[in-house]
Amino acid sequence: MRKLGPSTRIFALVALAGAVTAVAVGAAGASTNRQSATTITGAGSTFVAPLIAQWISPLGSAYGYELQYSAVGSGAGIASITSRTVDFGASDAPLSPDQFSACNSCEQIPWALGGTSIMYNLPGVKNLLHMDGPTLAKIFMGQITTWNDPAIAKLNPGASLPSTKITIAHRSDGSGTTYNLTDYLSSVSSAWSSQVGKGTAVNWPVGVGGKGSSGVSAIVGQTPGAIGYADVAYAISNHFSYFAMKNKSGKFTTPGLRGILAAATSDQKPAADNSLSIVNPPKKYANAYPISTFTYVIVPLQSSKAPDLKKFLFWAVTKGQTYAPKLRFVPLPKSVLVVAEKAIAKIHS
């Protein structure tokens, strides 16, 4: 019989390689398919990402779930769950009516409560600086450009402020934290409200954009004189200073557990779509931190992973909340927890 020619040998080799690869990939696919029954994927808010990161391993040991979360920003989270690329989305901004209809029978469920810190990098100034809403709005609009501006000095009589230029670090991606901040700025400054408005992404008058809360943190960390905003967990882990904000009662409060909880008591009844608004609470909530927000998980009402999803979410709003305080997230208040559990129960397969 003829010896196999070189071309035939080559093609046999290539075919063999292809077959081996196909088998290997198929086997890998099959084996991880077994696992994927207990893989729960999610995407969205960087605000709540530190808390979710703490849930990954206890969830694994409690139920054997593999929680995979990509912190790509609330905007991307809403887009991902709308196109059902993931099992759940996470957003700090409540969905608009258009987003609800695009998502096609989804519901949003409050599952964590935290505060947005206004962080800054001002080497040489040790004490905690004070700030109020109208001044902050002017800073973000580019009307106040240096640290030793009279408006800032007035709020901080004891501090010696340098003439460093202020650099604003804002989010370049669609962000629920941006929604929280712009919601607050719109309520304290009519100029901001009419010129810029509120949203998960806005037309920033000034500043440098960073991707995700980490991106903003990176800019603040590398730029003396920078002011940025992110969930307070980021400020703490990066050892940034943050402002004590003046609330409606005149008190300067910080994004700690007390301030956030006080803000949360200002709205105890979720609306029909389960959203709550606790930004800039009225005067009587004397200890409230005015830039606090609930953050939501967005799930489809009908899901092939309904039993696992429900187990995960029940765990998250109960056991998961025990991981919250050390990251300056406040455990869900009772009234909100009741609504959340009712909403979770609605998920069916």
Interface residue with other proteins among 144, 191, 208, 301 (CB under 8 A) is 208
Does 142 bind other proteins (CB under 8 A)? Our answer is: no
Report the alpha-carbon distance of residue 18 to residue 13 in Å, rounded: 8
By DSSP bridging, strand 167-171 and strand 208-210 are parallel
Cα-based angle 323, 216, 95 (whole degrees, multiple of 5): 65
- Cβ 222 to other proteins shortest distance, Å: 7
Footprint of other proteins on residues 228-257 (CB under 8 A)? 233-234, 237-238
Q: Which is nearer to other proteins, 14 or 345 (CB)?
A: 14
Span from 109-117, 212-220, 267-275, 288-296 in contact with other proteins (CB under 8 A): 212-220
Stretch that binds other proteins, among 20-28, 122-130, 245-253, 296-304 (CB under 8 A): 20-28
Q: Which of 113, 196, 227, 347 binds other proteins (CB under 8 A)?
A: 196
Contacts of 66 (CB under 8 A, 6+ apart): 35, 38, 39, 40, 60
Q: Considering the rule CB under 8 A, would residue 123 count as an interface residue with other proteins? A: no
Evaluate whether 220 touches 171 at the Cβ level (below 8 Å): no
Whether the CB-CB separation of 290 and 280 falls below 8 Å is answered with yes
Residues 6+ apart with CB under 8 A from 269: 276, 335
Residues 263-322 that bind other proteins (CB under 8 A): none
Both tokens of residue 337?
């927890």
Please classify residue 129 by burial: count the beta carbons closer than 10 Å to its beta carbon, then call 0-12 exposed, 13-18 middle and 19+ buried: buried
337 touching other proteins, by CB under 8 A: no
Using CB under 8 A, which of the segments 16-24, 149-157, 255-263, 314-322 binds other proteins? Answer: 16-24
Residue 280 DSSP SS3: coil
Binding span for other proteins by CB under 8 A among 25-33, 103-111, 255-263, 269-277: 25-33
Question: Which of 12, 16, 20, 21 is in the footprint of other proteins by CB under 8 A?
Answer: 21
| Residue 86 binding other proteins, by CB under 8 A | yes
